[in-house]
């Protein structure tokens, strides 16, 4: 399910801003005015002592197995993993930062990073800990704030187009490669029997912006200028992206009230043929194979997202590992992160969780490049984008959610939506 793992922007805002303020931790104001002090390099000696790790969801269930392998390589170290539900993670992390009582390492989402760094909760990544060129480039970019990295990517999450191959064949259409083909494709799937040609989450807080923003990027638009000093939403490219999103509802391809809830229902609706297509993540593959069995290859097609004038750009998120500023064993923590970032361990973690590794060499080690369904995601990773890594993103994403719902319901034009986004997001700011 799309973003089943991730806490909503509202939860992040409440946890990372309000909780830290209430607990009285000094955030020191604007992070841009106080560049991070470069962290000392981590040596190659064996790790020692207890290393405490928070990991969420299914990743938390499997992380102890990586910990066991680390302990075999570092006999004087002990990795203690505590599982945390994703919905509880923002409050739990922020409360720990505010109190100074933190574990050593935590898993988190990229869109949560900047708010916690603004609260001085995480330590910068030591120089030379990893070879950044061995990771997905956009995943690395999502760890950087004011030029310094505050986390190491563990896995990546991008979205591709899942569609009912049998309905497409019945309708005589192929997976759309361009915007010009997308609406026609969705309409054809409806004529072939689907209730919705393309499922969109049009009014779900925390989710709609993830559906809407790629259309802006595909049109060649951007949320901010290159140095992130101002918003750039009232532009022809952004308007074009908003218009494309709205056209899917206007043309009857998608519903005004599309939803991914209840969790787990997207794959069920796709398997039943009620949904003709949906842009979603690799986590759908396993459940769809279970639901369809031997019919999976006949009924499910997976393709990169259709391209607009700006290309076939898709959403990129994932999971990062960060070390708390108040970690009791930072040396051991960084050595554990370096260990799980090797191609062999990154591949093993992928095999355990079905996550897509952020370490590019791990794809071959795990054999992911041999699975045709997963290989499409590797192709899609060549064209992705992320939201700006800024502490106000939780508030900003909620604004996008609201305009996405209004566009779907037809109560605002793309031109007015672009102007409104520019005004409302500028009022919140980038810092």
Predicted model pTM: 0.92
**152 and 166, same domain (yes or no):** no
**164 and 305, same domain (yes or no):** yes
* Best CA proximity match to 216, nearest among 394, 418, 410, 391: 418
3-class SS of residue 252: coil
**241 and 380, same domain (yes or no):** no
Mean pLDDT, residues 415-425: 99
pLDDT confidence of 33, banded at 50, 70, 90? Answer: very low
Is residue 365 in a domain?
Answer: yes
Is residue 14 in a domain?
Answer: yes
Residue 205 contacts by C-beta under 8 Å, 6 or more apart in sequence? Answer: 8, 9, 10, 398, 401
Q: Is the pLDDT of residue 27 over 50?
A: no
For residues 384 and 142, the answer to whether their CB atoms sit within 8 Å is: no
Residue 431, both tokens: 């810092």
Residue 254, both tokens: 């998608």
**373 and 398, same domain (yes or no):** no
- Specify the number of domains making up the chain: 2
**235 and 325, same domain (yes or no):** no
Choose the weakest-confidence range: 24-33, 108-117, 129-138: 24-33
3-class SS of residue 184: helix
Beta bridge partners of 275: 196
**102 and 181, same domain (yes or no):** no
What is the model's pLDDT at position 14? 46
Is residue 124 in a domain?
Answer: yes
pLDDT confidence of 229, banded at 50, 70, 90? Answer: very high
Q: Is the pLDDT of residue 19 over 60?
A: no
* Best CA proximity match to 185, nearest among 171, 199, 200, 201: 171
Structure confidence by residue, pLDDT tens digits, 247-271: 999 999 999 999 999 888 999 999 9
Is residue 34 in a domain?
Answer: no
* Best CA proximity match to 374, nearest among 307, 266, 284, 312: 284
Structure confidence by residue, pLDDT tens digits, 69-86: 999 999 999 999 999 999
Token pair 């604004």 in the structure block, residue: 399
In which element (H, E) is residue 297 found?
Answer: helix 296-299
Return mean pLDDT, the chain: 93
**92 and 213, same domain (yes or no):** no
**210 and 285, same domain (yes or no):** yes
Instruction: Give the pairing type, strands 384-385 and 314-323.
Output: parallel
**308 and 321, same domain (yes or no):** no
DSSP 288: H
DSSP assignment of 393-418 equals: HHHHHHHHHHHHHHHHHTSS-HHHHH
Is residue 243 in a domain?
Answer: yes
Neighbours of 24 (CB within 10 A): 8
Query: Does the N-terminal peptide bond of residue 262 adopt cis geometry, omega within 30 degrees of 0?
Result: yes
Sheet holding 277-280, edge to edge: 277-280, 160-164, 300-303
Is residue 273 in a domain?
Answer: yes
Structure confidence by residue, pLDDT tens digits, 161-208: 999 999 999 999 999 999 999 999 999 999 999 999 999 999 999 899
3-class SS of residue 302: strand
Token pair 């500023």 in the structure block, residue: 325
Q: How distant, in Å, are the alpha carbons of 201, 247, 406 from that of 327?
A: 39, 50, 44
CATH number for the domain that contains residue 19: 3.40.190.10
**170 and 272, same domain (yes or no):** yes
- Spatial distance between the Cα atoms of 130 and 133, rounded to a whole number of angstroms: 9
**166 and 77, same domain (yes or no):** no
Is residue 261 in a domain?
Answer: yes
40 versus 230: the higher-pLDDT residue is 230
Range of the domain at 283: 160-315+389-428
Token pair 């750009």 in the structure block, residue: 313
For residues 43 and 69, the answer to whether their CB atoms sit within 8 Å is: no
**148 and 173, same domain (yes or no):** no
- Spatial distance between the Cα atoms of 418 and 235, rounded to a whole number of angstroms: 7
Q: How distant, in Å, are the alpha carbons of 167, 259, 353, 365 from that of 357?
A: 32, 28, 10, 10
3-class SS of residue 362: helix
Is residue 341 in a domain?
Answer: yes
């Amino acid at each position: 399910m799309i973003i089943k793992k991730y806490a909503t922007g509202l939860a992040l805002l409440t946890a990372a801003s309000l909780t830290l303020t209430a607990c009285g931790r000094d955030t020191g104001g604007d992070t841009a005015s106080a560049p991070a002090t470069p962290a000392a390099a981590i040596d190659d000696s064996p790790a020692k002592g207890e290393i405490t790790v928070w990991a969420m969801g299914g990743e938390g269930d499997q992380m102890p197995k990586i910990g066991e392998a680390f302990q075999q390589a570092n006999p004087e170290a002990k990795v203690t993993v505590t599982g945390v539900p994703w919905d509880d993670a923002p409050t739990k992390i922020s409360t720990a930062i505010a109190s100074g009582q933190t574990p050593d390492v935590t898993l988190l989402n990229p869109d949560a990073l900047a708010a916690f760094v603004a609260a001085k909760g995480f330590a910068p990544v030591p120089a030379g800990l990893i070879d950044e060129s061995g990771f997905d480039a956009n995943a690395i970019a999502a760890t950087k704030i004011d030029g310094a990295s505050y986390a190491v990517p563990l896995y990546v999450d991008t979205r591709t187009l899942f569609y009912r191959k049998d309905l497409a064949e019945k309708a005589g259409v192929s997976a759309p490669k361009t915007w010009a083909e997308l609406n026609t494709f969705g309409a054809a799937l409806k004529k072939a029997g689907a209730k919705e040609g393309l499922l969109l989450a049009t009014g779900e807080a925390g989710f709609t912006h993830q559906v809407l923003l790629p259309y802006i990027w595909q049109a060649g638009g951007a949320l901010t200028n290159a140095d992130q000093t101002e918003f750039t939403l009232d532009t022809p490219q952004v308007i074009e992206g908003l218009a494309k999103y709205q056209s899917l509802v206007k043309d009857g391809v998608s519903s005004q009230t599309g939803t991914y809830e209840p969790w787990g229902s997207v794959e069920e609706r796709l398997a039943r043929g009620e949904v003709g297509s949906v842009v979603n993540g690799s986590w759908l593959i396993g459940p769809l194979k279970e639901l369809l069995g031997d019919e999976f290859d006949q009924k499910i097609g997976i393709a990169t997202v259709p391209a607009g004038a700006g290309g076939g750009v898709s959403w990129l998120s994932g999971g990062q590992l960060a070390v708390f500023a108040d970690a009791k064993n930072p040396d051991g923590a960084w050595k554990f992160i370096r260990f799980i970032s090797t191609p062999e361990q990154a591949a093993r973690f992928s095999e355990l969780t079905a996550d897509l590794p952020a370490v590019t060499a791990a794809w071959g080690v795990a054999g992911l490049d041999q699975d045709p369904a997963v290989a499409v995601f590797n192709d899609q990773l060549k064209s992705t984008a992320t939201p700006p890594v800024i502490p106000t993103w939780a508030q900003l994403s909620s604004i996008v959610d609201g305009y996405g719902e209004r566009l779907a319901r037809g109560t605002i034009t793309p031109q007015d939506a672009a102007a409104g986004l520019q005004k409302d997001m500028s009022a919140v700011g980038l810092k």
